[in-house]
Structure 1
């Protein structure tokens, strides 16, 4: 049911309707949009601060430009809720029954006003530059704009895009949305450069953008609709590359999001009256707390250990290390390539780097994982979070980390089934100085488990004997393996590693069982199960369970499990069919 039938937004079916409004009505529209963002995020969770801060600029853009002929490419696209409301999708905020109608990122399957499925950072300028060049080639003349945040400007690809955008012969506008924040506080020399521009109202001679050849413009209040309309009118149809620098307030309209920007970048469902999450935090140790405790233990013992992350300390709870042990902590900005290269350099110099990476963002650093770390066989330790099958956007899937890491030489990828196993794996990985080691952090609630000896010099599977069927259940899927093994009286195996096989145990399992079954919370192609099947060859029948090589997009997790035969009943039936 539409909760706000009196809202002006109900009359906006697209930008043509927006163009009929006067300035007072547009300011009213901005208030409505903020109300709806807060209501939906409180109920469902989602990006909050980025969307609250971009409202006026979005209204002004669609008032001035002629989308979808004129094109705007949103970097990351985690700030597109206002854009979606103004381009025919407002019902997904007005009516709770329709909250699931749209995805949280730009999506061309959803609307002609979206041009890419984008959820990772620093790509917008490159995409826009390619579009502008193709437009020129085809003799067209539409406006092309990339909107990128100052946080995303810490990613190297942004500079690769700027380098080429600066020599575009015709229209191309890069809007730098400067709210002085990334997900966490912004880092690096860019902070200094942008501050000099803001402090001088865009007049400083130390301007990196004019040095590159851009026509530079500055808007001191990017949350003023009239100022933004004037700025956009001034750059519309201009026949050369322009950089428009706008100063905005992240979280505008909701004081808690202004006071604590990091915690309100993305939120779980919360109570609008108290700003408290509606789901309680887990009690007791977690995968994160175990990892932090292990790093802090080694810092306190005087070791040259450093925690490294790429702009997402909140994902891991790294603020404790950042605040209490600043010499042992580095945030490189939204630059996964830099984080892995940085870790390689630290390892070469003799320090012990512990990289904290999110599975979905790690793919951005594949070359560094291979070329800089693996080819040099450097003892980097990497904790990988969020690796597993999920119901998220197709831009944020965590099902490719095993495929990437496990198939590179020298990397050892370990997958704990308990918190104590995670601790033991970290202890061993930090002490050994032979190879790069990655650890797949549990994403599900796993037991603390019994104490484990910290020795993985040789991978040895842990076997609980049953009969007929041997189930190798990797990492997070060990609990699924327990349920299936219980129903079948099967042998249950913890394989410990996603890519190093215990061949002696596999040979024995093949000799003693009719069928070998593998479970992995990951993409099947290039994964653990295929390695087992390839090794065993014609020795015995092997069944692999995991996710098919497809992009799912906001599909409920239960449905994905069903589609991939990952429910207990489906697995049991499939196994019985081959016995």
Structure 2
């Protein structure tokens, strides 16, 4: 097998040209086989096999720098840089990341995980190279969806000023950018970068400049005529008008063609965009037909594409989806906003039922939040469904556009807490801290699926900014009998004992129950409180607990710094209560990829770890 010859970076350059298509096929088979076992991002990686091979054949890694936008399409890059054995432990704790990581390889130029960052990072590399007088190529690979993010355009605007080479590859998988078909465009892009043409252009302008008075006018006339022709014929004129050379479209699955365009791109003294048209999921029928389903795939049968896992219980996202549709039938002003995640956030059904009340703004979380503020100011009731780690990208907008104006925007914060295999860039472990620091913001967390439903209804009726955070995965269905009405700022007393109290937020309520059972086995009884509201904290409940509890244990799936536990501790310090507080929270650090249960054990927020900490504190 050819793939056996790929054991370190640049080994691909030793493969005969005529055998490259065979290697591409082996890489696809390798990806399908391995991701079917471990899960991971399949469709996006199948779509860039030839493009990645062409990059590695054209450039010299690690000297040259390739920056992958988002990074979930970097699997072939990892294979070609000697990491194919790492796929046995892909996205597992201690194993290889599903995203580029500088700590993992010198060939990973920049850590990525969120969208629309590659051009900014690449431009930084280019400027660093030029300031230091170094000589290497910089290539940013950005997907079409990532160009819906405003940050990409900020970077393009800045990059247009460059006078040195910077290559940007637009990986267009035909999912959201209109297909630009045309041999004329490809022909003109070759002519525009060919050396004879460049020399002729320079020579003509030099000669005309010598003509007194009329020389400048002739040059301007020629330029205007050329721009008019290009405007009519070249699909990349948007970039050209910014001052960025456009090459393409090029077949992203034709290695020879891509390499030829990349060689041309290296000749450009300035920023250049190479438009490569690819097929997401290429080579695997189910992924080609259903690219969204195989974007982040669970383990599956490689023959049929069907999931291996048993049918799971309803997830929190499913509960959110159901309630949103039911509430929309009752409330005509309810609208939903997503940043390119209708499937992931559960809004697909809402979109199908209420298309005129559904807004997908693309990968643009900052815009989504301010857009929702405008919707609210205009009299609607917007719900912005967004992953916790992606909401971080709109922190300023939450403050400036929603909370200062005290607008009734609902933030449905999905994937809050540990999410597992996607690692540091996707763990939703900061939202309680950053959201509860904002004046006018109300923050809630449900203990189970019924409380999520009740809280969403409450949030939709609430007349101000409010965030509802819930975790990834199966919705907890215990404690169904505890369903007190949602009252602003009020927690829920589940079990009432003396001496020790567990005050848990959201997903940690189930952990608190497990801890309670462990304590009962050794003769200790404890109170269990479902916090419900992280902001405002239920001070009345805290005052009650101070009466006959000498230890209050706060429990949250969020970092300790600025979290729920610190607010409880601050209250008791301010009131000089004779209560000891034990804060159970995630460490103030970035948490790597891995199974969620294992990560909880490593972070000491699982039931066994909490039990041990309580015994150590309670028996002192």
- Structure 1 match to 2:449: 419
Match of 1:564 in 2: 603
* Superimposed CA distance per residue, residues 112-135 of structure 1 (whole angstroms, 9 cap, x where no aligned partner): 000222100000000011111111
Task: Report what 2:167 is aligned to.
Answer: 173
- Is the deviation greater in 99-108 or in 59-68? 99-108
1:278, 1:319 → 2: CA distance?
Answer: 24
* Aligned pairs (5 A) from 1:125-524: 125-181=119-175, 186=176, 191=177, 194-196=178-180, 201=185, 203-204=233-234, 207-283=237-313, 285-301=314-330, 303-392=332-421, 393-433=423-463, 435-443=464-472, 444-447=474-477, 449-450=480-481, 452=483, 454-486=485-517, 487=519, 488-524=524-560
* Structure-1 separation of matches of 2:538 and 2:9: 61
**Residues 192-237 of structure 1: per-residue CA shift (max 9 Å, x gap):** xx54576974643672101101111004311111111111121225
* Equivalent position SS for 1:516: strand
Residues 1:526 and 2:562 are matched in the alignment = yes
After alignment, is 235-244 or 33-42 more displaced? 235-244
Residues 219 and 227, structure 1, Cα contact 8 Å, conserved in 2:
no
Distance (Å, rounded) in 2 between the aligned partners of 1:205 and 1:249: 19
Task: List runs of 5+ in structure 2 lacking aligned partners.
Answer: 187-232
Distance 2:365 2:296 in 1: 20
Shift of 1:103: 1.0
CA distance 1:148–1:574, change in 2 (3 Å): same
Structure 1 gaps of 5+ residues are 1-6
Q: Which of 482-491 and 269-278 deviates more?
A: 482-491
TM-score, with structure 1 as normaliser: 0.92
After superposing the two structures, state which structure 1 stretch, 559-568 or 233-242, moved more.
Answer: 559-568
Aligned-partner Cα distance in 1 for 2:284–2:16: 25
The DSSP-based 3-state class of the residue aligned with 1:249 is coil
Q: Number of residues paired by the alignment?
A: 561
Contact 1:91/1:98 (<8 A) preserved: no
Indicate if the aligned counterparts of 1:391 and 1:552 stay in contact, CA closer than 8 A: no
> Which range is displaced more, 378-387 or 561-570?
561-570
TM superposition shift of 1:555: 4.3
> Deviation of residue 287 (structure 1)?
2.0
Does the aligned pair in 2 maintain the 1:174–1:244 contact within 8 Å?
yes
Matches of 1:301 and 1:141 in 2, distance apart?
Answer: 63
Q: Is the 8 A contact 1:418 1:447 kept in 2?
A: yes
Q: Which residue of 2 aligns with 1:33?
A: 27
Structure with larger Rg = 2
Give me the whole-angstrom Cα distance separating, in 1, the residues matched to 2:66 and 2:156: 16
CA distance in 1, matches of 2:369, 2:293: 25
- Deviation string 1:26-84 (CA, Å, 9 cap, x unpaired) is 11110111001101111011001110010101111111111111111110111100001
Cα distance between partner residues in 1 of 2:531 and 2:93: 41
Shift of 1:474: 0.9
Distance in 2 between the 1:69 and 1:402 partners?
A: 41
Offset from partner CA, 1:430-462 (integer Å, 9 cap, x none): 1122x1111112435311624745543342442
Q: Distance between the aligned counterparts of 2:318 and 2:273, measured in 1?
A: 43
Query: Which secondary structure state, in structure 1, belongs to the residue aligned with residue 585 of structure 2?
Result: strand
Bigger shift: residues 251-260 or 229-238:
229-238
Matched-pair contact (CA < 8 Å) for 1:370–1:408: yes
TM-score relative to the length of structure 2: 0.86
Specify whether residues 271 and 300 from structure 1 end up closer, same or farther in structure 2 by C-alpha distance, changes over 3 A only.
same
Paired residue for 1:23, among 9, 12, 17?
17
Cα offset, 1:420, TM superposition: 1.8
Q: Residues 241, 507 of structure 1: CA spacing in aligned structure 2 closer, same or farther, 3 A cutoff?
A: same
How far apart, in 2, do the equivalents of 1:270 and 1:510 lie? 52
Report the Cα distance in structure 2 between the residues aligned to 1:199 and 1:483, rounded to whole angstroms: 66
Find the residue that maps to 1:145 and give its secondary structure: strand
Q: Calculate the aligned-residue CA RMSD, in Å.
A: 2.1
Supply the distance in 2 between the matched residues of 1:96 and 1:565 (Cα, whole angstroms): 24
- Contact 1:166/1:214 (8 A) holds in 2: yes
